[in-house]
C-alpha cells in the first residue's frame, strides 16, 4: 500500500463526465454482453458510428425546439470552422450511416444496435451526467405493429436477462403528421386558457412545442395539465388501428404494459408508438429506457421513405439499479507464492505457461514474506495457491491448496497446468 500522503491533482475530469473504475467494469461488461446476446437472438447487428457529427444532423432530426438542441448540445467549431457536435443520442447518427452506406440495399428489414457514450450539457446529478452511455436498437423498413411489439419484447427480455424487474413499461401513441397537428392545436387552445399557471419556460414554449408542457416537471404545469386533451382521442383511424394492434400483440406475448397518454418524447422525430421503461428507484431520473417510432426520419434526412422504430437504454441508470447485486470481476485461479530468487524465477515461468494454457495465474513481484504473499492471495480471492520454496524446486513437487476448504494435494510442477485445469473444470461443473 502506498503511504498516505495528500496529493493534489491539478487537472481533474470534466464535470459530469465520470471514470468507470475497475471495480465497476464487470457490471458494465455484464450489461453490454447481455445486450449482445439478447439482441442477436432477435437478429440485430451492431453498428458503430463516430462520436461527433455535423451539427446540422441533430438540429434537423431531433428538432430545433427540443431541450437537447436548444440547450444541451456540445457544439464546437473545428479548425476549419465546421460546426461539429458530440452526439447527444444514437438514432440520428445511425440513420445517417444507414442512408450514407445504403444499408437498405442489403435487406428490406435492417436491425441495428449500438452502445457507447453520448453527450448532453445537463445539470449533473445522480443518474444524469454530461457524458453518459446508451445501449440502443433500431429497426428500419417495417411499419407493421408486430415489429413494435417485438422491439418491446426484446427490451423486456433484456431486463429479465440482467435481473432487473422493478421497471414498468408505459406506452403511448403520438399520432402522425395527419392527426398530430389537430391534437397540437387542441392542446395549445387548452394551455392558452391556463397560461398563468405554467412555469416561465412553458409559457415561452407552449406554442412552439406544446407537447413538452405535458412532460414538464414543474408542479404548476403538472396540475394545470391534469385535464388536458388526450392525444389518444385525436388519433386518425390508421394510427388508432396501429396502436390497437401494438397493444394486442403485447398481450399475446404476455408483456405487461400501461397506457400513459401523457407520455411525450423529447425528440421531434417520434410518431405513433412511443414508450418508456420507468422505475421508482431513481428519484426524478425515473426513465431507464425510452423510444418509439420515427417513420418520417429516414426520408427527412435524405434517405428512402422507410419507417423506423427504436429505443435507447441509459446504462448508468442500470448500473445504479444493479446496486448491491454488482457483478464481481474474475479472480485468479492460482496464486503462486515463491520464496527466494530461484523459486520466483520458476514461479514466473510456471505462471506464464499457465496463462498460455488458459489459467488465470498471479504471483508476487515485490519479494514479500510468505505471510504477506498469502495475505495477498486471500485478498485477490485466488481459488488455489501453490507455495514454491527450495524443497519444492528440488523435489519437483508442491502442495496445491484449495482456498475454499484449505484442503491440500501434492502436484508435480511439470503437470501443474493439466492438474489445475482438471480441478477447475470440476469446480465449475459442481458449482
C-beta closer to ligand ATP: residue 135 or 142:
135
C-beta closer to ligand ATP: residue 98 or 132:
132
78 Cβ partners below 8 Å, 6+ apart?
Answer: 84
H-helix or E-strand spanning residue 173: strand 168-173
User: Nearest CA to 320 among 357, 350, 356, 283?
Assistant: 283
C-beta closer to ligand ATP: residue 257 or 384:
257
Pairwise CA distance, residues 24 & 22, whole Å: 5
C-beta closer to ligand ATP: residue 38 or 287:
287
Pairwise CA distance, residues 299 & 367, whole Å: 67
The verdict on 167 binding ligand ATP (CB under 6 A) reads: no
The verdict on 296 binding ligand ATP (CB under 6 A) reads: no
C-beta closer to ligand ATP: residue 122 or 201:
122
Q: Which of 93, 141, 175, 266 binds ligand ATP (CB under 6 A)?
A: 266
Pairwise CA distance, residues 243 & 54, whole Å: 35
The verdict on 314 binding ligand ATP (CB under 6 A) reads: yes
Site string for ligand ATP, 130-159 (x = CB under 6 A): --x-x-------------------------
How many amino acids of this chain bind ligand ATP (CB under 6 A)? Answer: 18
Beta strand 168-173 pairing with 271-278: antiparallel
Q: Which of 53, 148, 316, 364 binds ligand ATP (CB under 6 A)?
A: 316
Dig out the grid coordinates for 135 from the structure.
445501449
The least CB distance from residue 404 to ligand ATP, in Å, is 39
Give the binding range for ligand ATP (CB under 6 A) out of 221-229, 234-242, 313-321, 396-404: 313-321
The least CB distance from residue 69 to ligand ATP, in Å, is 12
The least CB distance from residue 399 to ligand ATP, in Å, is 51
CA angle 207, 213, 216 (to 5 degrees): 150
Pairwise CA distance, residues 409 & 33, whole Å: 37
Give the binding range for ligand ATP (CB under 6 A) out of 48-56, 157-165, 284-292, 360-368: 284-292
Q: Which of 312, 382, 388, 413 binds ligand ATP (CB under 6 A)?
A: 312
The verdict on 129 binding ligand ATP (CB under 6 A) reads: yes
Beta strand 287-293 pairing with 308-314: antiparallel
Give the binding range for ligand ATP (CB under 6 A) out of 99-107, 283-291, 346-354, 387-395: 283-291
* Exposure string for 14-48, b = 16+ CB within 10 A, e = fewer: eebebeeeeebeebbebbeebbeebbeebebeebe
Give the binding range for ligand ATP (CB under 6 A) out of 44-52, 181-189, 232-240, 287-295: 287-295
Say if residues 145 and 245 touch (Cβ distance below 8 Å): yes
C-beta closer to ligand ATP: residue 168 or 285:
285
Say if residues 382 and 403 touch (Cβ distance below 8 Å): yes
The verdict on 87 binding ligand ATP (CB under 6 A) reads: no
The least CB distance from residue 92 to ligand ATP, in Å, is 11
Pairwise CA distance, residues 72 & 89, whole Å: 11
* Exposure string for 216-237, b = 16+ CB within 10 A, e = fewer: beeeebeebbeebbbbbebbee
The verdict on 268 binding ligand ATP (CB under 6 A) reads: no
Pairwise CA distance, residues 280 & 165, whole Å: 12
Distances (CA, A) of 90 to 58, 96, 311: 10, 10, 9
User: Nearest CA to 155 among 256, 224, 236?
Assistant: 256
The least CB distance from residue 351 to ligand ATP, in Å, is 41
CA angle 350, 356, 359 (to 5 degrees): 75
Give the binding range for ligand ATP (CB under 6 A) out of 19-27, 41-49, 127-135, 395-403: 127-135
Q: Which of 317, 376, 401, 423 binds ligand ATP (CB under 6 A)?
A: 317
Pairwise CA distance, residues 29 & 329, whole Å: 10
Report the residue number whose CB is nearest to ligand ATP.
Answer: 314
Give the binding range for ligand ATP (CB under 6 A) out of 126-134, 195-203, 243-251, 255-263: 126-134
C-beta closer to ligand ATP: residue 17 or 380:
17
Q: Which of 149, 287, 298, 306 binds ligand ATP (CB under 6 A)?
A: 287
Q: Which of 35, 167, 290, 416 binds ligand ATP (CB under 6 A)?
A: 290
Which residues form the interface with ligand ATP (CB under 6 A)? Answer: 89, 120, 122, 127-129, 132, 134, 266, 285, 287-290, 312, 314, 316-317
Amino acid at each position: 500500500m502506498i503511504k498516505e500522503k495528500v496529493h493534489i491533482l491539478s487537472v481533474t475530469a470534466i464535470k459530469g463526465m465520470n471514470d468507470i473504475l475497475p471495480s465497476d467494469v464487470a457490471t458494465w461488461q455484464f450489461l453490454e454482453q447481455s445486450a449482445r446476446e439478447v439482441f442477436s437472438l432477435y437478429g440485430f447487428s451492431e453498428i458503430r458510428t463516430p462520436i461527433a457529427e455535423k451539427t446540422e444532423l441533430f438540429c434537423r432530426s431531433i428538432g430545433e425546439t427540443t431541450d437537447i438542441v436548444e440547450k444541451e448540445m456540445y457544439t464546437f467549431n473545428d479548425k476549419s470552422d465546421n460546426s461539429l457536435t458530440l452526439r447527444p443520442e444514437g438514432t440520428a447518427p445511425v440513420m445517417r450511416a444507414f442512408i450514407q452506406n445504403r444499408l437498405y440495399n442489403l435487406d428490406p428489414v435492417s436491425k441495428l444496435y449500438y452502445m457507447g457514450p453520448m453527450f448532453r450539457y445537463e445539470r449533473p446529478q445522480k443518474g444524469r451526467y454530461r457524458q453518459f452511455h446508451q445501449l440502443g436498437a433500431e429497426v428500419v423498413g417495417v411499419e407493421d405493429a408486430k415489429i413494435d411489439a417485438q422491439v418491446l419484447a426484446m427490451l423486456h427480455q433484456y431486463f429479465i436477462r440482467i435481473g432487473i424487474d422493478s421497471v414498468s413499461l408505459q406506452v403511448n401513441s403520438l399520432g402522425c403528421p395527419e392527426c398530430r397537428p389537430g391534437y397540437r392545436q387542441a392542446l395549445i387552445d387548452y394551455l392558452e386558457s391556463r397560461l398563468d399557471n405554467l412555469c416561465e419556460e412553458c409559457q415561452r414554449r407552449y406554442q412552439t412545442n406544446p407537447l413538452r408542457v405535458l412532460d414538464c416537471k414543474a408542479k404548476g404545469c403538472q396540475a394545470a395539465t391534469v385535464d388536458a386533451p388526450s392525444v389518444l382521442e385525436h388519433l386518425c383511424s390508421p394510427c388508432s388501428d396501429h396502436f390497437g394492434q401494438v397493444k394486442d400483440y403485447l398481450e399475446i406475448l404476455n408483456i405487461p404494459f400501461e397506457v400513459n397518454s401523457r407520455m411525450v418524447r423529447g425528440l421531434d422525430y417520434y410518431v405513433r408508438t412511443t414508450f418508456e421503461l420507468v422505475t421508482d428507484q431513481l428519484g426524478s431520473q425515473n426513465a431507464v429506457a425510452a423510444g418509439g417510432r420515427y417513420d418520417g426520419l429516414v426520408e427527412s434526412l435524405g434517405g428512402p421513405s422507410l419507417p423506423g422504430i427504436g429505443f435507447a437504454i441509459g446504462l448508468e441508470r442500470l448500473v445504479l439499479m444493479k446496486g448491491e447485486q454488482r457483478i464481481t470481476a474474475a479472480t485468479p485461479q492460482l496464486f503462486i507464492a515463491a520464496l527466494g530468487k530461484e523459486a520466483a524465477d520458476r514461479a514466473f515461468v510456471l505462471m506464464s505457461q499457465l496463462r498460455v494454457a488458459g489459467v488465470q495465474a498471479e504471483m508476487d513481484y515485490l519479494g514479500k514474506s510468505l505471510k504477506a504473499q498469502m495475505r495477498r492471495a486471500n485478498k485477490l480471492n485466488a481459488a488455489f495457491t501453490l507455495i514454491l520454496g527450495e524443497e519444492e524446486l528440488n523435489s519437483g513437487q508442491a502442495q496445491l491448496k484449495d482456498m475454499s476448504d484449505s484442503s491440500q494435494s501434492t502436484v508435480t510442477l511439470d503437470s501443474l497446468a493439466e492438474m489445475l485445469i482438471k480441478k477447475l473444470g470440476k469446480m465449475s461443473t459442481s458449482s
